[in-house]
């Protein structure tokens, strides 16, 4: 069994996705679920998109709040690894 190569800038068990990028995408493009698509959470992203369409855009508030929560508390990618700073 071989060990995976070390990637500088990424600690063990950290995602290659950035929480800043995910948060900004969530705030600016939360209507389309862009922050969740970025982190690999496809089902939640599609749900955000559908809720935004069904509520005529009011559901975009979900994306804004989601983006702020990712920036403040961090988040995880689709594999459960914490997002890097």
- Stated pTM of the model: 0.81
Residue 13: per-residue pLDDT: 85
Placement of tokens 């809720």 in the chain: 51
**pLDDT confidence of residue 85:** 87
Instruction: Provide the pLDDT for residue 40.
Output: 95
Per-residue pLDDT of the chain (85 residues; tens, 9 = 90+): 565 555 555 556 899 999 999 999 999 998 999 999 999 999 999 999 999 999 998 988 999 999 999 999 999 999 999 999 8
């Amino acid at each position: 069994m071989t060990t995976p190569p070390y990637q500088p800038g990424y600690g063990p068990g950290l995602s290659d996705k950035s929480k800043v990028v995910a948060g900004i995408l969530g705030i600016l493009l939360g209507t389309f679920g862009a922050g969740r698509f970025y982190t690999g959470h496809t089902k939640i992203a599609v749900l955000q998109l559908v809720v935004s369409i069904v509520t005529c855009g009011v559901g975009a508030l979900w994306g804004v709040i989601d983006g702020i929560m990712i920036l403040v508390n961090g988040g995880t990618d689709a594999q459960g690894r914490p997002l890097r700073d």
